[in-house]
Structure 1
Amino acid sequence: MTREEKSQVIEELTAQLADNTNIYLTDISGLDAASTSNLRRACFKSNIKLAVVKNTLLAKAMEASDKDFGELPETLKGNTSVMYAETGNAPAKIIKEFRKKSEKPLLKGAFIEEAIYVGDELLDTLVDIKSKEELLGEIITLLQSPAKNVISALKSGGGTIAGIVKTLSEREG
């Protein structure tokens, strides 16, 4: 690979790192062709981009990036694949699913919404991370709950103050 080609790859990797808030570093070495194909297919279905990268070029891209990748560059040993995802826990779920049948992919580390996770032992933690949309949905549900109680109390009590008080007291008791 010429110096110009390396420089081009570093620029592309730097742009990918800048455009994505959820980045997983994995080791998929040792997977046979069929398993690798299945992994790529699963990633595609979950809107995850999977790319095999050269460690030195990724390290330079991380260095050139505006983001602070903390200890992640230290995990760039051996074979490295990068998973870019819109949802923070999607790659972790795919990795966990694949690990039911195989020892790989291994999680080297992840950069999720500016938080850094290093080590395969954190896979279960990453699976449990809720996406921004999931958290917003939970908050909206919690906020709607008291309003729904008041509305149902108004409807069931016939709209009278006595009916409302009676309904609310029954719910608390």
Structure 2
Amino acid sequence: MPKKNRTKKSASSGKKGKASSQQPTTTIVSENRKARHRYEIIDSLECGMILMGSEVKAMRDGKLSLDEAYIRFQKNELWLIGADISHYANAGMWNHDPRRPRKLLLHSREREAFAVKAKERGLTLIPLRVYFNARGIAKCVMGLAKGKQLHDKRQTIKERDTQRGLQRAMRRR
């Protein structure tokens, strides 16, 4: 007796509308806004993070601060240091240390390239943004940065104000 070739219809195949055309989105948890002001970002790279369960739940509530965070290269690994993930209220006794170092995950060739650049040129590795990707995995965008001098910061502010003035003038026309 021959087997019947059955195909399953997906739930969205019978429906009409925009449900099937939606693109997966990312959820930004925290952004280091001061980094763009304090540093000149030379290069950036996305990397994964090793987190505990209570840290992930706290991050989903938006309880992450990158204000004083930086990245160090220690023992051939990259570590996120100084990021503050607040306690998750429902974790009880299994809660995490809010300021513990967290390991970052990269391919070895990317890790080596960034570490060499940071050591040779005297550059700094800083976290720029932490978000959950479309699959719900926590990612960190780290930047290779050079510290700005005071006159560089003033120049950046002046250019930004000039651009705003031009945009306002164009809108008035």
Shorter-normalised TM range: under 0.3
Scaled by the length of structure 1, the TM-score of the pair is: 0.25
Q: Which has the higher helix share?
A: 1
Q: Which has the higher strand share?
A: 2
Greater RCO (Cα-Cα under 8 Å, separation 6 or more): 2
Scaled by the length of structure 2, the TM-score of the pair is: 0.25
Larger Rg: 1
